[in-house]
Structure 1
Amino acid sequence: MVETMRENSESAMRETLADFLRRRRDALSPRAVGLQAGPRRRTPGLRRDEVARLASMSATYYERLEQGRGPQPSTGILAGLARALRLDPDERAYLHLLAGHAEPPVVASDRVVDSRLLSVMQAIEATSPAFAADDLATVLAQNELHTTLFGPVAGLPGWEGNLFWCWFVSHRWRRIMVNPPDQQEAIGRAYVAALRVVVAERGHDPAATTLVGRLRAASAEFARMWEEHRVSKPASSPIVTVVDERVGQLDFDHALLVGPRSRQRLYSLHAASGTPTRQRVSRLIELVRQR
Protein backbone atom coordinates (compact mmCIF):
# COMPACT_ATOMS: atom_id res chain seq x y z
CA MET A 1 0.00 0.00 0.00
CA VAL A 2 2.85 2.36 0.86
CA GLU A 3 4.47 1.57 -2.48
CA THR A 4 1.22 2.28 -4.30
CA MET A 5 0.87 5.64 -2.52
CA ARG A 6 4.43 6.56 -3.44
CA GLU A 7 3.82 5.67 -7.10
CA ASN A 8 0.61 7.72 -7.13
CA SER A 9 2.46 10.66 -5.64
CA GLU A 10 5.24 10.44 -8.24
CA SER A 11 2.67 10.16 -11.02
CA ALA A 12 0.85 13.26 -9.75
CA MET A 13 4.13 15.19 -9.64
CA ARG A 14 4.99 14.18 -13.22
CA GLU A 15 1.54 15.24 -14.41
CA THR A 16 1.80 18.55 -12.57
CA LEU A 17 5.26 19.14 -14.04
CA ALA A 18 3.94 18.38 -17.53
CA ASP A 19 1.02 20.78 -17.10
CA PHE A 20 3.32 23.52 -15.76
CA LEU A 21 5.64 23.19 -18.76
CA ARG A 22 2.72 23.33 -21.20
CA ARG A 23 1.21 26.38 -19.52
CA ARG A 24 4.48 28.28 -19.47
CA ARG A 25 5.20 27.36 -23.10
CA ASP A 26 1.77 28.53 -24.20
CA ALA A 27 2.16 31.79 -22.27
CA LEU A 28 5.53 32.69 -23.82
CA SER A 29 5.35 34.60 -27.07
CA PRO A 30 7.89 33.94 -29.83
CA ARG A 31 8.90 37.60 -29.84
CA ALA A 32 9.86 37.33 -26.14
CA VAL A 33 12.64 34.89 -27.11
CA GLY A 34 13.64 36.59 -30.36
CA LEU A 35 11.59 34.46 -32.79
CA GLN A 36 9.23 35.58 -35.52
CA ALA A 37 5.58 34.80 -34.86
CA GLY A 38 4.81 33.90 -38.49
CA PRO A 39 1.37 33.41 -40.07
CA ARG A 40 1.15 29.61 -39.67
CA ARG A 41 1.17 29.39 -35.89
CA ARG A 42 -1.93 27.81 -34.37
CA THR A 43 -1.30 29.24 -30.88
CA PRO A 44 0.41 32.40 -29.68
CA GLY A 45 2.95 30.45 -27.62
CA LEU A 46 6.10 28.54 -28.51
CA ARG A 47 6.23 25.15 -30.18
CA ARG A 48 7.73 22.19 -28.37
CA ASP A 49 10.69 21.97 -30.70
CA GLU A 50 11.46 25.64 -30.09
CA VAL A 51 11.51 25.17 -26.33
CA ALA A 52 13.73 22.11 -26.76
CA ARG A 53 16.15 24.04 -28.95
CA LEU A 54 16.29 26.97 -26.52
CA ALA A 55 16.85 24.55 -23.61
CA SER A 56 19.59 22.61 -25.49
CA MET A 57 17.80 19.25 -25.41
CA SER A 58 16.18 16.93 -27.92
CA ALA A 59 12.60 17.60 -28.99
CA THR A 60 11.71 13.98 -28.19
CA TYR A 61 12.94 14.30 -24.60
CA TYR A 62 11.02 17.52 -24.08
CA GLU A 63 7.87 16.03 -25.59
CA ARG A 64 8.05 13.15 -23.11
CA LEU A 65 8.32 15.61 -20.23
CA GLU A 66 5.21 17.44 -21.41
CA GLN A 67 3.39 14.13 -21.68
CA GLY A 68 4.32 13.13 -18.14
CA ARG A 69 6.33 10.15 -19.38
CA GLY A 70 9.88 11.37 -19.05
CA PRO A 71 12.47 10.30 -16.45
CA GLN A 72 13.38 12.58 -13.58
CA PRO A 73 15.15 15.54 -15.23
CA SER A 74 18.56 16.53 -13.93
CA THR A 75 19.32 19.96 -12.49
CA GLY A 76 21.13 20.78 -15.73
CA ILE A 77 17.98 19.99 -17.74
CA LEU A 78 15.92 22.11 -15.35
CA ALA A 79 18.32 25.02 -15.71
CA GLY A 80 17.91 24.83 -19.48
CA LEU A 81 14.12 24.73 -19.20
CA ALA A 82 14.07 27.67 -16.80
CA ARG A 83 16.22 29.67 -19.21
CA ALA A 84 14.16 28.70 -22.27
CA LEU A 85 10.80 29.47 -20.65
CA ARG A 86 12.05 32.69 -19.04
CA LEU A 87 11.00 31.55 -15.56
CA ASP A 88 11.29 34.00 -12.67
CA PRO A 89 12.95 32.86 -9.40
CA ASP A 90 9.67 31.63 -7.86
CA GLU A 91 8.77 29.65 -10.99
CA ARG A 92 12.28 28.21 -11.19
CA ALA A 93 12.07 27.05 -7.57
CA TYR A 94 8.66 25.49 -8.25
CA LEU A 95 10.04 23.69 -11.32
CA HIS A 96 12.80 22.13 -9.21
CA LEU A 97 10.30 21.13 -6.53
CA LEU A 98 8.08 19.34 -9.06
CA ALA A 99 11.11 17.51 -10.45
CA GLY A 100 12.18 16.29 -7.00
CA HIS A 101 15.20 18.54 -6.58
CA ALA A 102 16.12 21.09 -3.93
CA GLU A 103 15.43 24.72 -4.73
CA PRO A 104 18.44 26.12 -6.63
CA PRO A 105 20.42 28.88 -4.95
CA VAL A 106 19.87 32.36 -6.30
CA VAL A 107 23.03 34.40 -6.59
CA ALA A 108 22.44 38.14 -6.70
CA SER A 109 24.43 40.43 -8.94
CA ASP A 110 27.78 41.28 -7.43
CA ARG A 111 27.57 44.08 -4.91
CA VAL A 112 23.94 44.94 -5.74
CA VAL A 113 21.98 45.10 -2.50
CA ASP A 114 18.52 43.54 -2.41
CA SER A 115 16.19 46.55 -2.52
CA ARG A 116 13.77 45.01 -0.02
CA LEU A 117 16.46 44.41 2.54
CA LEU A 118 17.90 47.85 1.92
CA SER A 119 14.55 49.50 2.64
CA VAL A 120 14.21 47.59 5.93
CA MET A 121 17.76 48.49 6.92
CA GLN A 122 17.07 52.16 6.31
CA ALA A 123 13.71 52.02 8.12
CA ILE A 124 15.29 50.80 11.38
CA GLU A 125 18.32 53.09 11.14
CA ALA A 126 17.25 55.26 14.08
CA THR A 127 17.11 52.36 16.53
CA SER A 128 19.04 49.34 15.26
CA PRO A 129 22.53 48.74 13.88
CA ALA A 130 22.15 46.65 10.73
CA PHE A 131 24.04 45.48 7.66
CA ALA A 132 23.21 43.59 4.48
CA ALA A 133 25.46 40.82 3.19
CA ASP A 134 25.49 38.15 0.53
CA ASP A 135 24.98 34.50 1.49
CA LEU A 136 28.73 34.11 2.16
CA ALA A 137 28.49 37.07 4.57
CA THR A 138 30.42 39.59 2.53
CA VAL A 139 29.06 42.93 3.76
CA LEU A 140 27.36 44.93 1.00
CA ALA A 141 25.90 47.83 2.98
CA GLN A 142 25.71 49.14 6.56
CA ASN A 143 23.38 51.66 8.09
CA GLU A 144 24.83 54.67 9.90
CA LEU A 145 24.38 53.23 13.38
CA HIS A 146 26.17 49.98 12.52
CA THR A 147 29.06 51.89 11.00
CA THR A 148 29.23 54.10 14.10
CA LEU A 149 29.59 51.11 16.41
CA PHE A 150 31.62 48.66 14.33
CA GLY A 151 33.40 50.87 11.82
CA PRO A 152 33.12 50.81 8.02
CA VAL A 153 33.26 47.31 6.54
CA ALA A 154 31.20 47.36 3.35
CA GLY A 155 33.43 47.70 0.31
CA LEU A 156 36.73 46.90 2.07
CA PRO A 157 39.19 45.07 -0.18
CA GLY A 158 39.94 41.36 -0.03
CA TRP A 159 38.40 39.43 2.82
CA GLU A 160 38.27 42.38 5.22
CA GLY A 161 34.65 43.02 4.28
CA ASN A 162 33.51 39.51 5.20
CA LEU A 163 31.65 38.85 8.47
CA PHE A 164 33.45 35.55 9.11
CA TRP A 165 36.81 37.16 8.48
CA CYS A 166 35.93 40.03 10.83
CA TRP A 167 34.99 37.51 13.50
CA PHE A 168 37.64 34.81 13.22
CA VAL A 169 40.68 36.54 11.70
CA SER A 170 40.80 40.31 12.08
CA HIS A 171 38.65 40.24 15.25
CA ARG A 172 37.62 43.80 14.48
CA TRP A 173 34.03 43.14 15.57
CA ARG A 174 34.96 41.11 18.62
CA ARG A 175 37.27 43.67 20.16
CA ILE A 176 34.43 45.96 21.22
CA MET A 177 32.32 43.12 22.64
CA VAL A 178 32.44 42.24 26.31
CA ASN A 179 30.65 38.90 26.06
CA PRO A 180 32.53 36.22 28.04
CA PRO A 181 34.59 33.69 26.07
CA ASP A 182 31.99 30.90 26.27
CA GLN A 183 29.36 33.14 24.67
CA GLN A 184 31.73 34.27 21.96
CA GLU A 185 32.48 30.59 21.36
CA ALA A 186 28.74 29.92 20.92
CA ILE A 187 28.38 32.80 18.47
CA GLY A 188 31.34 31.59 16.42
CA ARG A 189 30.09 28.01 16.38
CA ALA A 190 26.67 29.21 15.16
CA TYR A 191 28.37 31.14 12.37
CA VAL A 192 30.33 28.09 11.23
CA ALA A 193 27.31 25.77 11.36
CA ALA A 194 25.31 28.20 9.22
CA LEU A 195 28.22 28.56 6.75
CA ARG A 196 28.28 24.77 6.34
CA VAL A 197 24.69 24.91 5.07
CA VAL A 198 25.40 27.80 2.70
CA VAL A 199 28.41 26.02 1.19
CA ALA A 200 26.23 22.96 0.49
CA GLU A 201 23.45 25.13 -0.96
CA ARG A 202 25.97 26.68 -3.36
CA GLY A 203 27.17 23.24 -4.43
CA HIS A 204 30.69 23.83 -3.06
CA ASP A 205 31.31 26.40 -5.77
CA PRO A 206 34.72 28.15 -6.06
CA ALA A 207 33.66 31.24 -4.10
CA ALA A 208 32.48 29.17 -1.12
CA THR A 209 35.40 26.73 -1.07
CA THR A 210 37.94 29.54 -1.42
CA LEU A 211 36.46 31.40 1.55
CA VAL A 212 36.47 28.28 3.71
CA GLY A 213 40.02 27.43 2.69
CA ARG A 214 41.29 30.90 3.56
CA LEU A 215 39.49 30.89 6.90
CA ARG A 216 40.87 27.46 7.84
CA ALA A 217 44.38 28.60 6.99
CA ALA A 218 44.12 31.90 8.87
CA SER A 219 42.20 30.85 12.00
CA ALA A 220 42.84 27.79 14.13
CA GLU A 221 39.55 28.50 15.92
CA PHE A 222 37.58 28.40 12.68
CA ALA A 223 39.44 25.26 11.52
CA ARG A 224 38.59 23.49 14.78
CA MET A 225 34.90 24.39 14.54
CA TRP A 226 34.75 23.50 10.85
CA GLU A 227 36.09 20.02 11.58
CA GLU A 228 33.20 19.45 14.03
CA HIS A 229 30.91 19.42 10.98
CA ARG A 230 27.93 20.88 12.81
CA VAL A 231 25.16 22.25 10.61
CA SER A 232 22.22 24.50 11.33
CA LYS A 233 20.24 27.32 9.86
CA PRO A 234 21.01 30.67 11.51
CA ALA A 235 19.61 30.48 15.03
CA SER A 236 19.45 32.54 18.17
CA SER A 237 22.63 33.05 20.15
CA PRO A 238 23.57 35.06 23.26
CA ILE A 239 22.78 38.73 23.74
CA VAL A 240 25.51 40.80 22.11
CA THR A 241 27.03 43.27 24.54
CA VAL A 242 28.99 46.20 23.15
CA VAL A 243 30.73 48.97 25.08
CA ASP A 244 30.85 52.35 23.39
CA GLU A 245 33.03 54.97 25.06
CA ARG A 246 30.47 57.71 24.32
CA VAL A 247 27.35 56.16 25.89
CA GLY A 248 28.45 53.04 27.78
CA GLN A 249 27.21 49.45 27.60
CA LEU A 250 24.72 48.42 24.91
CA ASP A 251 22.93 45.06 25.06
CA PHE A 252 21.41 43.78 21.83
CA ASP A 253 19.20 40.95 20.71
CA HIS A 254 19.65 40.15 17.06
CA ALA A 255 17.54 39.15 14.09
CA LEU A 256 18.17 37.79 10.63
CA LEU A 257 16.07 38.42 7.52
CA VAL A 258 16.78 36.48 4.31
CA GLY A 259 15.81 37.98 0.97
CA PRO A 260 13.25 35.69 -0.71
CA ARG A 261 14.81 36.14 -4.14
CA SER A 262 18.40 37.28 -3.66
CA ARG A 263 19.38 35.01 -0.73
CA GLN A 264 21.11 38.03 0.74
CA ARG A 265 20.85 38.51 4.50
CA LEU A 266 19.97 41.47 6.68
CA TYR A 267 21.58 41.23 10.13
CA SER A 268 20.14 43.63 12.68
CA LEU A 269 20.67 44.32 16.38
CA HIS A 270 17.80 45.41 18.63
CA ALA A 271 17.85 46.82 22.16
CA ALA A 272 17.44 43.99 24.68
CA SER A 273 14.36 44.37 26.87
CA GLY A 274 14.94 45.48 30.44
CA THR A 275 18.12 47.39 29.58
CA PRO A 276 18.79 51.11 29.01
CA THR A 277 20.12 50.35 25.54
CA ARG A 278 17.32 52.06 23.59
CA GLN A 279 17.89 55.36 25.39
CA ARG A 280 21.64 55.08 24.98
CA VAL A 281 21.32 54.35 21.28
CA SER A 282 19.17 57.47 20.87
CA ARG A 283 21.85 59.47 22.70
CA LEU A 284 24.56 58.01 20.49
CA ILE A 285 22.68 59.02 17.34
CA GLU A 286 22.34 62.56 18.68
CA LEU A 287 26.06 62.77 19.38
CA VAL A 288 26.97 61.47 15.92
CA ARG A 289 24.66 63.92 14.17
CA GLN A 290 25.93 66.83 16.25
CA ARG A 291 29.45 65.94 15.25
Structure 2
Amino acid sequence: MARQELARFLRDRRERLRPQDIGLPADPHRRTPGLRREEVAELAHMSVDYYTRLEQARGPRPSPRILDGLVGALRLAPAERSHLFRLAGASAPPGVRAVRRVRPHIAQMLLRLPNTAAIVTDAGYDVVAWNPLAQALLGDDLGRHGNLARRRFLGQGRAYESSSAEEFGHIVVARLRRAADRYPRDPALAALLRELGAGSEEFRQIWDERPVHAPGHRTKTIDHPSAGTLRLNCDVLLVPEDDQEVVLITADPGSPAARTIRRLAGAVAS
Protein backbone atom coordinates (compact mmCIF):
# COMPACT_ATOMS: atom_id res chain seq x y z
CA MET A 1 0.00 0.00 0.00
CA ALA A 2 2.81 2.43 0.93
CA ARG A 3 4.57 1.75 -2.37
CA GLN A 4 1.37 2.51 -4.27
CA GLU A 5 0.89 5.79 -2.42
CA LEU A 6 4.51 6.77 -3.07
CA ALA A 7 4.10 5.94 -6.76
CA ARG A 8 0.93 8.04 -7.02
CA PHE A 9 2.60 10.95 -5.25
CA LEU A 10 5.57 10.91 -7.64
CA ARG A 11 3.35 10.69 -10.74
CA ASP A 12 1.12 13.49 -9.51
CA ARG A 13 4.01 15.87 -8.82
CA ARG A 14 5.77 15.03 -12.09
CA GLU A 15 2.63 15.69 -14.14
CA ARG A 16 2.05 19.03 -12.39
CA LEU A 17 5.44 20.44 -13.33
CA ARG A 18 5.87 22.31 -16.60
CA PRO A 19 9.06 22.26 -18.67
CA GLN A 20 9.58 25.97 -18.03
CA ASP A 21 9.55 25.26 -14.28
CA ILE A 22 12.91 23.53 -14.67
CA GLY A 23 14.36 25.88 -17.27
CA LEU A 24 13.29 24.03 -20.44
CA PRO A 25 11.58 25.90 -23.29
CA ALA A 26 7.82 25.52 -23.58
CA ASP A 27 6.81 23.14 -26.40
CA PRO A 28 3.23 23.51 -27.73
CA HIS A 29 3.51 20.11 -29.44
CA ARG A 30 4.48 18.27 -26.28
CA ARG A 31 2.12 15.34 -25.63
CA THR A 32 3.24 14.35 -22.13
CA PRO A 33 1.47 16.18 -19.29
CA GLY A 34 4.09 17.73 -17.07
CA LEU A 35 7.63 16.39 -17.22
CA ARG A 36 8.84 13.17 -18.79
CA ARG A 37 10.22 10.44 -16.58
CA GLU A 38 13.66 10.74 -18.12
CA GLU A 39 13.70 14.47 -17.31
CA VAL A 40 12.92 13.83 -13.66
CA ALA A 41 15.48 11.02 -13.50
CA GLU A 42 18.17 13.28 -14.92
CA LEU A 43 17.36 16.07 -12.48
CA ALA A 44 17.38 13.59 -9.58
CA HIS A 45 20.68 12.00 -10.71
CA MET A 46 19.33 8.47 -11.07
CA SER A 47 18.67 6.06 -13.91
CA VAL A 48 15.42 6.26 -15.85
CA ASP A 49 14.81 2.58 -15.10
CA TYR A 50 15.11 3.15 -11.33
CA TYR A 51 12.76 6.12 -11.39
CA THR A 52 10.26 4.26 -13.58
CA ARG A 53 10.18 1.36 -11.12
CA LEU A 54 9.44 3.82 -8.29
CA GLU A 55 6.49 5.24 -10.23
CA GLN A 56 5.26 1.72 -10.95
CA ALA A 57 5.54 0.70 -7.28
CA ARG A 58 8.13 -1.93 -8.18
CA GLY A 59 11.30 -0.33 -6.87
CA PRO A 60 13.15 -0.96 -3.61
CA ARG A 61 12.74 1.39 -0.67
CA PRO A 62 14.62 4.56 -1.70
CA SER A 63 17.41 5.89 0.49
CA PRO A 64 17.36 9.42 2.00
CA ARG A 65 19.89 10.48 -0.66
CA ILE A 66 17.57 9.29 -3.44
CA LEU A 67 14.60 10.97 -1.79
CA ASP A 68 16.38 14.32 -1.51
CA GLY A 69 17.28 14.00 -5.19
CA LEU A 70 13.57 13.65 -5.95
CA VAL A 71 12.77 16.63 -3.72
CA GLY A 72 15.00 18.84 -5.86
CA ALA A 73 13.89 17.37 -9.17
CA LEU A 74 10.17 17.73 -8.39
CA ARG A 75 10.56 21.16 -6.73
CA LEU A 76 8.87 19.98 -3.53
CA ALA A 77 8.01 22.41 -0.74
CA PRO A 78 9.18 21.58 2.83
CA ALA A 79 5.82 20.07 3.77
CA GLU A 80 5.82 17.96 0.58
CA ARG A 81 9.37 16.84 1.34
CA SER A 82 8.30 15.59 4.77
CA HIS A 83 5.32 13.81 3.18
CA LEU A 84 7.56 12.11 0.60
CA PHE A 85 9.85 10.78 3.33
CA ARG A 86 6.86 9.48 5.30
CA LEU A 87 5.50 7.66 2.26
CA ALA A 88 8.91 6.06 1.75
CA GLY A 89 9.06 4.96 5.39
CA ALA A 90 12.03 7.17 6.20
CA SER A 91 12.68 9.99 8.64
CA ALA A 92 13.25 13.29 6.91
CA PRO A 93 16.63 14.73 7.92
CA PRO A 94 16.74 18.50 8.48
CA GLY A 95 17.10 20.73 5.45
CA VAL A 96 20.45 22.23 4.62
CA ARG A 97 19.37 25.82 5.31
CA ALA A 98 16.75 27.58 7.37
CA VAL A 99 13.84 28.93 5.30
CA ARG A 100 14.30 32.70 5.00
CA ARG A 101 11.48 33.50 2.59
CA VAL A 102 8.05 34.12 4.05
CA ARG A 103 5.00 32.64 2.35
CA PRO A 104 2.92 35.30 0.54
CA HIS A 105 -0.27 34.50 2.43
CA ILE A 106 1.56 34.95 5.74
CA ALA A 107 2.95 38.31 4.61
CA GLN A 108 -0.52 39.43 3.52
CA MET A 109 -2.01 38.36 6.85
CA LEU A 110 0.26 40.81 8.68
CA LEU A 111 -1.40 43.70 6.85
CA ARG A 112 -4.90 42.63 7.88
CA LEU A 113 -4.35 42.79 11.65
CA PRO A 114 -5.82 46.01 13.13
CA ASN A 115 -3.97 47.51 16.09
CA THR A 116 -1.56 44.58 16.11
CA ALA A 117 2.16 44.82 15.47
CA ALA A 118 3.32 41.63 13.78
CA ILE A 119 6.63 40.21 12.61
CA VAL A 120 7.77 36.88 11.20
CA THR A 121 11.12 35.43 12.30
CA ASP A 122 13.00 32.50 10.81
CA ALA A 123 14.86 29.82 12.73
CA GLY A 124 17.88 32.11 13.17
CA TYR A 125 15.79 35.07 14.40
CA ASP A 126 16.04 37.05 11.18
CA VAL A 127 12.92 39.22 10.81
CA VAL A 128 11.71 38.15 7.36
CA ALA A 129 8.41 40.08 7.32
CA TRP A 130 6.71 42.80 9.35
CA ASN A 131 3.82 45.24 9.18
CA PRO A 132 4.03 49.06 9.50
CA LEU A 133 2.91 49.11 13.13
CA ALA A 134 5.72 46.70 14.06
CA GLN A 135 8.18 49.04 12.39
CA ALA A 136 6.78 51.96 14.40
CA LEU A 137 7.23 49.98 17.63
CA LEU A 138 10.54 48.25 16.87
CA GLY A 139 12.28 50.89 14.78
CA ASP A 140 12.64 52.14 11.23
CA ASP A 141 15.83 50.08 10.89
CA LEU A 142 13.90 46.82 11.29
CA GLY A 143 14.81 45.71 7.77
CA ARG A 144 18.47 46.70 8.05
CA HIS A 145 19.03 45.44 11.59
CA GLY A 146 16.34 42.81 11.62
CA ASN A 147 17.98 39.97 13.50
CA LEU A 148 16.53 39.85 17.02
CA ALA A 149 19.45 37.83 18.39
CA ARG A 150 21.93 40.49 17.26
CA ARG A 151 19.67 43.19 18.72
CA ARG A 152 19.46 41.39 22.05
CA PHE A 153 23.10 40.39 22.52
CA LEU A 154 25.12 42.79 20.33
CA GLY A 155 22.99 45.94 20.55
CA GLN A 156 22.52 46.23 16.80
CA GLY A 157 19.53 48.30 15.74
CA ARG A 158 17.11 50.17 17.97
CA ALA A 159 16.91 48.57 21.38
CA TYR A 160 14.45 49.44 24.17
CA GLU A 161 14.63 48.83 27.86
CA SER A 162 12.35 45.86 28.44
CA SER A 163 11.15 44.03 31.52
CA SER A 164 11.60 40.71 29.73
CA ALA A 165 15.13 41.22 28.40
CA GLU A 166 16.66 38.51 30.58
CA GLU A 167 13.95 35.95 29.80
CA PHE A 168 14.08 36.80 26.10
CA GLY A 169 17.82 36.13 26.06
CA HIS A 170 17.16 32.56 27.21
CA ILE A 171 14.34 32.16 24.67
CA VAL A 172 16.65 33.31 21.87
CA VAL A 173 19.43 30.92 22.83
CA ALA A 174 17.04 27.98 23.20
CA ARG A 175 15.68 28.55 19.71
CA LEU A 176 19.14 29.04 18.20
CA ARG A 177 20.28 25.77 19.80
CA ARG A 178 17.35 23.99 18.13
CA ALA A 179 18.21 25.66 14.82
CA ALA A 180 21.86 24.57 15.11
CA ASP A 181 20.71 20.97 15.57
CA ARG A 182 18.27 21.15 12.64
CA TYR A 183 20.53 22.99 10.18
CA PRO A 184 24.11 21.99 10.97
CA ARG A 185 25.25 22.88 7.43
CA ASP A 186 23.63 26.32 7.17
CA PRO A 187 26.56 28.77 6.67
CA ALA A 188 24.54 31.89 7.57
CA LEU A 189 23.38 30.35 10.85
CA ALA A 190 26.89 29.15 11.67
CA ALA A 191 28.24 32.66 11.03
CA LEU A 192 25.57 34.17 13.30
CA LEU A 193 26.46 31.81 16.15
CA ARG A 194 30.17 32.60 15.78
CA GLU A 195 29.41 36.34 15.82
CA LEU A 196 27.23 36.10 18.92
CA GLY A 197 29.73 33.89 20.71
CA ALA A 198 32.61 36.24 19.95
CA GLY A 199 30.71 39.41 20.81
CA SER A 200 28.71 38.53 23.90
CA GLU A 201 29.86 36.86 27.11
CA GLU A 202 26.21 36.70 28.20
CA PHE A 203 25.36 34.71 25.07
CA ARG A 204 28.19 32.26 25.77
CA GLN A 205 27.04 31.77 29.36
CA ILE A 206 23.42 31.16 28.42
CA TRP A 207 24.48 28.83 25.59
CA ASP A 208 26.40 26.69 28.08
CA GLU A 209 23.29 26.50 30.30
CA ARG A 210 21.35 24.77 27.47
CA PRO A 211 18.05 26.58 28.19
CA VAL A 212 14.74 25.04 27.12
CA HIS A 213 11.88 27.43 26.31
CA ALA A 214 8.74 26.95 24.26
CA PRO A 215 7.03 29.78 22.36
CA GLY A 216 3.81 31.06 23.87
CA HIS A 217 2.19 34.03 25.59
CA ARG A 218 4.36 36.55 27.39
CA THR A 219 3.90 40.07 28.76
CA LYS A 220 6.59 42.71 28.62
CA THR A 221 6.95 46.38 29.45
CA ILE A 222 9.07 48.50 27.12
CA ASP A 223 10.21 52.12 27.22
CA HIS A 224 9.52 53.47 23.74
CA PRO A 225 11.54 56.63 22.91
CA SER A 226 8.48 58.62 21.81
CA ALA A 227 5.45 56.69 23.09
CA GLY A 228 6.73 56.17 26.62
CA THR A 229 6.22 53.09 28.78
CA LEU A 230 4.05 50.41 27.15
CA ARG A 231 2.81 47.16 28.68
CA LEU A 232 2.45 44.74 25.77
CA ASN A 233 1.37 41.16 25.13
CA CYS A 234 3.44 38.94 22.84
CA ASP A 235 1.89 35.81 21.37
CA VAL A 236 3.61 33.42 18.98
CA LEU A 237 2.00 31.43 16.17
CA LEU A 238 4.09 28.71 14.55
CA VAL A 239 4.60 28.11 10.84
CA PRO A 240 6.01 24.60 11.34
CA GLU A 241 6.57 23.70 7.69
CA ASP A 242 9.05 26.60 7.40
CA ASP A 243 10.32 26.59 11.00
CA GLN A 244 9.16 30.20 11.37
CA GLU A 245 7.26 32.12 14.04
CA VAL A 246 4.66 34.88 13.71
CA VAL A 247 4.93 37.22 16.70
CA LEU A 248 1.77 39.24 17.49
CA ILE A 249 2.25 42.30 19.73
CA THR A 250 -0.91 43.75 21.28
CA ALA A 251 -2.10 45.62 24.38
CA ASP A 252 -4.93 44.92 26.81
CA PRO A 253 -8.18 46.53 25.61
CA GLY A 254 -8.82 49.90 27.22
CA SER A 255 -5.30 50.21 28.59
CA PRO A 256 -3.06 53.26 28.05
CA ALA A 257 -0.84 51.08 25.85
CA ALA A 258 -3.85 50.17 23.69
CA ARG A 259 -4.63 53.86 23.15
CA THR A 260 -1.00 54.49 22.23
CA ILE A 261 -0.99 51.60 19.76
CA ARG A 262 -4.18 52.91 18.12
CA ARG A 263 -2.54 56.31 17.80
CA LEU A 264 0.61 54.77 16.26
CA ALA A 265 -1.53 52.64 13.92
CA GLY A 266 -3.41 55.73 12.76
CA ALA A 267 -0.15 57.58 12.18
CA VAL A 268 1.42 54.85 10.06
CA ALA A 269 -1.86 54.37 8.12
CA SER A 270 -1.92 58.04 7.16
Task: Mark yes or no: TM-score above 0.5.
Answer: yes
> Could you say which residue in structure 2 is the equivalent of 1:196?
177
Query: Could you report, residue by residue, the CA deviation over 1:221-240 in whole angstroms, capped at 9, with x for unpaired residues?
Result: 111121223455x4126411
For residues 31 and 280 of structure 1, do their structure 2 counterparts lie closer, same or farther at Cα, with a shift above 3 Å needed?
A: closer
Partner of 2:247: 267
State the partner residue of 1:252: 232
Q: Secondary structure at the match of 1:210?
A: helix
Quick check: which has more Rg, 1 or 2? 1
Q: Give the equivalent residue in structure 2 for 1:211.
A: 192
Compared with structure 1, are the counterparts of its residues 176 and 57 closer, same or farther at alpha carbon in structure 2 (3 Å cutoff)?
same
Q: Distance in 2 between matches of 1:171 and 1:45?
A: 48
Contact 2:98 2:186 in 1 (8 A): no
1:166 aligns with 2:147: no
Question: Which residue does the alignment assign to 1:176?
Answer: 161
Whether contact under 8 Å (1:29, 1:45) holds in the other structure is yes
1:112-123 aligned within 5 A: 113-123=102-112
Gaps of 5+ in 2: none
Mapped to 1, the partners of 2:110 and 2:266 lie a distance apart of 19
With over 3 angstroms needed to count, the CA separation of the structure-2 counterparts of 1:97 and 1:284, relative to structure 1, is: same
Range with greater deviation from structure 2 (65-74 or 25-34): 25-34
Give deviations 1:125-167, integer Å, cap 9, x for gaps: x5122233333222244433333333223332xxx43110101
Could you state the TM-score of these two structures normalised by the residue count of structure 2?
0.77
SS in 1 for 2:124: coil
- 2-side partners of 1:186 and 1:260: how far apart? 23
Amino acid at match of 1:205: D
One-letter amino acid of the structure 2 residue matched with residue 253 of structure 1: N
* SS of residue in 2 equivalent to 1:239: strand
Give how far 1:218 is off.
Answer: 0.8
The aligned amino acid for 1:52 is: A
2:221 to 232, 241, 244: 241
Could you tell me how far apart the structure 1 residues matched to 2:179 and 2:2 are?
28
CA gap of 1:189–1:281, structure 2 versus 1, over 3 A, is same
Alignment-derived partner of residue 132 in structure 1: 120
Given that residues 123 and 175 in structure 2 are in contact (C-alpha distance below 8 angstroms), is that contact kept between their aligned partners in structure 1?
no
Matches of residues 48-197 of structure 1 in structure 2 within 5 Å? 48-66=37-55, 67-74=57-64, 76-99=65-88, 100-102=90-92, 105=95, 113-124=102-113, 126-156=114-144, 160-170=145-155, 175-177=160-162, 179=163, 183-197=164-178
Describe the shift of the 1:276–1:82 C-alpha distance in structure 2 as closer, same or farther (beyond 3 A). Answer: same
Fraction of identical pairs, as percent: 34
The SS at the match of 2:91 is coil
Q: Does 1:277 align with 2:257?
A: yes
Q: Which amino acid aligns with 1:19?
A: R
Q: Compute the displacement of 1:68 (Å).
A: 4.7
TM-score, length basis structure 1? 0.72
In structure 2, what is the equivalent of residue 6 of structure 1?
Answer: none
Which runs of 5 or more structure 1 residues have no equivalent in the other structure?
Answer: 1-11
Q: Deviations over 1:53-82 (max 9, x none)?
A: 2311123433453435413421x3223212
Distance, in Å, in 2 between the alignment partners of 1:284 and 1:37 is: 54
1:2-41 residue CA offsets vs partner (Å, 9 max, x unmatched): xxxxxxxxxx4344223322444456577876487989x8
Deviation at 1:245, TM superposition (A): 5.6
Contact 1:29 1:46 in 2 (8 A): yes
**Structure 2 CA distance, aligned partners of 1:222 and 1:229?**
11
Q: Report the Cα distance in structure 1 between the residues aligned to 2:20 and 2:121, rounded to whole angstroms.
A: 37
Retained in 2: the 8 A contact 1:52–1:58? yes
